[in-house]
Amino acid sequence: MSFFKRLKDKLMGNPAEEEKIGAINEEEAAAEQKQDEATEPTPIEATEPAQIETSVEEVEKVEEVSVTERSIETEIPVALEDQAQQEDQEVVIVEEPAKEKKPSAWSITQKFKAGLEKTRNSFTSKVNDLVARYRKVDEDFFEELEDLLLQADVGFETVMELMDKLRFEVQRKNIKDTSGIQTIISEKLVEIYEQGEEDLIELNMQPKGDLTVILFVGVNGVGKTTTIGKLAHRLKSQGKTVVLAAGDTFRAGAIDQLQVWGDRVGCEVIKQSEGSDPAAVMYDAIRAAKNRNADVLICDTAGRLQNKVNLMNELEKVHRVISREVPNAPHEVLLALDATTGQNALVQAQTFKEVTNVTGIVLTKLDGTAKGGIVLAIRNKLHIPVKFVGLGEKMDDLQPFDAERYVYGLFADGLDKELQNSED
């Protein structure tokens, strides 16, 4: 399937499937209308006086109770009103779920587009200028493209692999001019990121009834605590019970900051006093999460500079306590990285991977950097998937990473033009 086809399916959905769903909805609506007509209460005005008198006489015969004209005038309308109210309530119950709307594929894609605006303005605008200046694809074009990719922090190894793939594709398809070259670049970048692997962004959630433990690591200042709060909000919106563990006991204010997020998203925070043993906090948090039958425990950790040996020893100790109390835990070790730090984020990822066996990256502040290519460098260099990206300050701006939406965010302007040309 071509990149354009996959992109259209994600942005606009599957037309055949939407048509099928629409037909089902129409049938259900018609069935509900017939049912409403069949059960519609008879208006009081349409009730003949003779019918009312007959029904009253039957009641008198069965119950042998005398009924006055005044009771007839009051009881029958009340009964009819009660029936009408019940019908109205049933209609409300049916209609309520229809008001609940999940984020559309288009709105999620727009978040990536908006979040990568700074990178796109600095990087892709230069690519557009390059394509405009070169009418044909030659070695000079490849050399300038290589420089632009390196400036965007895509990473040396990734750039070399991409250039090899581009040269091969240009030769295979006998491409002479630069029209449509951005589509090929986009396709190859997605291929490099995915490398044949699937479900890279899925968290390793345990079966219902078992506790899932997620350990967050990362240096100070990368937005780790904020990301924990946003992830807790995301999991809670999925109906999961989430408990937070304030394991960063060394940084002043870290415990209070996590408590603020816990109050904001409605999650209990297990904590001790500042300076306490982080491993002891984890022990208490696991016991509390089990007692409350929680689904997920998210653990914050200290974030001093990654070259501090004592910090890494502390992380190893925390890891041991968690794995002793919950078999095979932590189920995810997520490393929070600040996208604005560029290649330094890659160095941090390498160090933490050696010590804590990182299973996924959460790249924060992607909306604040002009070098968003670091996503590709991390994936290709360390083979660690980027599971979430921070695309803004709002609670729902933490989004699961999607390689195609990411690449679209990088090349949105050029791809939109090529997509329009392909449809004309």
* Bridge partners of residue 214, in order along the sequence: 298, 332
The token pair at 354 is 């050696």
- Identify the pLDDT of residue 90: 41
- Identify the pLDDT of residue 259: 96
- Identify the pLDDT of residue 30: 57
- Identify the pLDDT of residue 28: 52
Below-70 pLDDT ranges, the chain: 1-104, 196-200, 304-309, 414-424
Round to whole Å and give the CA distance between 412 and 121. Answer: 10
Q: Which H or E element spans position 147? A: helix 139-151
Q: What is the pLDDT of residues 163-190, one digit of tens each?
A: 998 999 888 888 888 877 878 888 888 8
Q: For residue 150, how many other CB atoms are within 10 A of its CB? A: 15
- Identify the pLDDT of residue 302: 86
Q: CB of 260 within 8 A of CB of 174?
A: no
Measured in whole angstroms, how far is the alpha carbon of residue 422 from the centre of its chain? 30
- Identify the pLDDT of residue 379: 81
- Identify the pLDDT of residue 190: 83
| Residue 67: HSE in the Cβ half-sphere, 13 Å Cα cutoff | 20
Q: Which residues contact 100 (CB under 8 A, 6 or more apart)?
A: none
* Bridge partners of residue 217, in order along the sequence: 335
- Identify the pLDDT of residue 39: 47
- What's the whole-model pTM score? 0.73
Q: In what order do the strands lie in the sheet with 386-390?
A: 268-270, 242-246, 296-300, 212-217, 332-338, 360-364, 386-390, 398-400
Q: CB of 411 within 8 A of CB of 399?
A: no
- Identify the pLDDT of residue 414: 66
